[in-house]
Structure 1
């Protein structure tokens, strides 16, 4: 892939995961400006891009650090020089926690993680003790709330209080605040649905804050929010940190949401470049099948050429149908640019990005960007 650097986009072999660097940098700058204007901390979710280079780029624009979901994602990014990483997920496996505790003890990166049960706290403490961590190498711990998604998180303010108090008793743990993220709200299509859902979530957060403060437990920070809802968290007066991640690339599923007038405009910046490998009178076949893009949020959209619909062709093939009856399919060998339905799992299928400067049609390959945490599932 390095041989493509300096070459035109026509030299990119297919299928390949391509970043339009100009569009991505505009997205990055717009979110950073939004966070500054709202006086919010920005901690983008790096599970979107899984790249130390892109995480450092976000931090250079003002992000306080990044989020991940897995221990090994955190360790891969830390090895790449990322100095502030929050694992926004529960981990109770002692083997995983031992890897994290060793990294905490080594220093160089400030880690945080979420908990929603006593066992997770006790096992984290055991791992830190085994790694000989001290108060100077303590880890930040957030108590995760279920604010409506029905996934992880404590269900009541009283449970949150119990865990916060337990954390405060441990010298190598620091109670850092509340994790309050509603994943399902990100993909509610209308702004009215998202408004109503996040208003209910804010009420749950406020009740929990009231309970903790009433018991003398200070809540230093409430963190959460995603690309579909961050405007609401920013305007709530409760959340102090935004975790949006997909804004960097904007996949097809997020683009299907009704636009929020208060949100910055984000552009598609992540594409799968493919090419036509077979053609009939009614359809064409490109060389990007499901091994090149995730389909959990639907099939890719065709960004170019216009007038085409992507259909399931299996692992290695995509079938391209013209929207208009009797319209000719694209010619053999022609480039097809696809917008993935869901960026995060699509990224996890590739070893590297091809960073293009100057647009998808006349641009040139500027650099290859490693996907450091590809396959970091544990």
Structure 2
């Protein structure tokens, strides 16, 4: 009989060499510096900070960020909210629409469970059908007045969910106010497309337009007699813009925690803290020819929707190029300036192109203290919301 996957995980105290490959590894020192920088920024700007757990999917890390000053966590799925709540995160916001009656019943049950533990569940809506379904699900559970905070999502440039800014949002705010179980809490205004615009000026321009739309919408709703308590949004690529707007009160940054190769391609914004790459796929060279080497980390170990991973620079070999090798293999080509390849058995460290779906491919992350070369395993981080798609 073969050992269960958990039995093959490294033990705390073992060196990085003991980590079998491919494995998802967190540089804890870099990650904690990222947390400290984000927490300091939010505190200095007087902003609430609600990091997105859809990125790391790990309740232990969400709790760690709450301890560092976060107000709670964002999620995108009902199942993610359930996983985070089971792991001790008590203030959760589903920044996405939920409309299926079965899911809304789960949302209502979770809202009451969190309330019973001194917590709170909030949600975004962009349709009257979603509002009515949510109110019905809460009423069926016997929820009391204002049992859930509800945010109206407006489309400020993402081109995905959300109603147009302005009067369409007013109608939804009024609809929320008609249900005793619901509390209209404000606006969800996330400009996702702006996060990966490469130039600083491009990102600033996109967020300036989003701020105008969100401000206009807030004015329309307040003119109708409904207070807009909070405007929430922002991501790792632009959060300094939202913080400086005088409009947003909460930042939903997520990828700052680990960063990825795609975010690394953005021109840095001097108004934002610099974050370090902290998430890596450890791989091993299993084959070598005259002009390339092959490692054991293919698409099953890292997502490629935002491009292939980058290879972490090696002091002797320089920066290798990663090429598509299929499901199980990665092709490594030499740094043109050095022309050197790693030997069979050598370790290579890959920076995933997109951290969120990469994490979802793994059951655990290995937390390493002291660097990738000479560090030791300190923690095993369970990916609690892996596959939490519903």
Check whether TM > 0.5: yes
Q: Which of 240, 248, 253 does residue 244 from structure 1 map onto?
A: 253
Q: Which runs of 4+ in 1 moved over 3 A?
A: none
Q: 1:192 is matched with which residue?
A: 201
Aligned residues: 377
Q: Which of 342, 349, 356 does residue 337 from structure 1 map onto?
A: 349
> Secondary structure of 1:323's match?
coil
* 1:274–1:288 contact (8 Å) kept in structure 2: yes
Q: 2:379 is matched with which residue?
A: 367
Deviation at 1:181, TM superposition (A): 0.1
Q: 2:81 is matched with which residue?
A: 74
Report matched runs for 1:210-221 at 5 Å.
Answer: 210-221=219-230
Deviation at 1:129, TM superposition (A): 1.6
Deviation at 1:354, TM superposition (A): 0.1
Q: 1:349 is matched with which residue?
A: 361
CA deviations over 1:225-256 (Å, ceiling 9, x no partner)? 00001010000000000000000001010110
Q: Which of 8, 17, 23 does residue 24 from structure 2 map onto?
A: 17
CA RMSD of aligned residues (A): 1.1
* 2:150–2:184 contact (8 Å) kept in structure 1: yes
Q: 2:3 is matched with which residue?
A: none
> Secondary structure of 1:367's match?
strand
> Secondary structure of 2:259's match?
coil
CA deviations over 1:285-309 (Å, ceiling 9, x no partner)? 0000000000000000000433310
CA deviations over 1:83-116 (Å, ceiling 9, x no partner)? 0000000110111111111122223231000000
Q: Which of 232, 235, 247 does residue 226 from structure 1 map onto?
A: 235
Question: Relative to structure 2, which stretch is displaced further, 280-289 or 3-12?
Answer: 3-12
Between the aligned partners of 2:10 and 2:99, the Cα distance in structure 1 is: 44
Between the aligned partners of 2:152 and 2:288, the Cα distance in structure 1 is: 55
Report matched runs for 1:124-273 at 5 Å.
Answer: 124-135=134-145, 138-273=147-282
Q: 1:323 is matched with which residue?
A: 335
* 2:10–2:19 contact (8 Å) kept in structure 1: no
Q: 2:323 is matched with which residue?
A: 311
> Secondary structure of 2:56's match?
coil
CA deviations over 1:191-249 (Å, ceiling 9, x no partner)? 11011111111110111011111111110000000000101000000000000000000
CA deviations over 1:325-357 (Å, ceiling 9, x no partner)? 782321000000000000000000000110000
Q: 1:114 is matched with which residue?
A: 124
Question: Relative to structure 2, which stretch is displaced further, 113-122 or 154-163?
Answer: 154-163
Scaled by the length of structure 1, the TM-score of the pair is: 0.98
* 1:282–1:328 contact (8 Å) kept in structure 2: no
Question: Relative to structure 2, which stretch is displaced further, 362-371 or 209-218?
Answer: 209-218
Between the aligned partners of 1:206 and 1:326, the Cα distance in structure 2 is: 53
* 2:169–2:217 contact (8 Å) kept in structure 1: yes
> Secondary structure of 1:184's match?
helix
1:46 aligns with 2:53: yes
Q: 2:306 is matched with which residue?
A: 297
Question: Relative to structure 2, which stretch is displaced further, 324-333 or 46-55?
Answer: 324-333
Between the aligned partners of 2:338 and 2:46, the Cα distance in structure 1 is: 54
Deviation at 1:128, TM superposition (A): 1.0
Q: Which of 90, 105, 108 does residue 97 from structure 2 map onto?
A: 90
> Secondary structure of 1:156's match?
coil
Between the aligned partners of 2:96 and 2:218, the Cα distance in structure 1 is: 20
Q: 1:104 is matched with which residue?
A: 111
CA deviations over 1:252-288 (Å, ceiling 9, x no partner)? 1011000000110100000000000111111000000
CA deviations over 1:119-165 (Å, ceiling 9, x no partner)? 000111111122222227x0110000000111110113111111111
* 1:282–1:326 contact (8 Å) kept in structure 2: no
* 1:230–1:242 contact (8 Å) kept in structure 2: yes
Deviation at 1:19, TM superposition (A): 0.3
Between the aligned partners of 1:156 and 1:261, the Cα distance in structure 2 is: 30
* 2:9–2:19 contact (8 Å) kept in structure 1: no
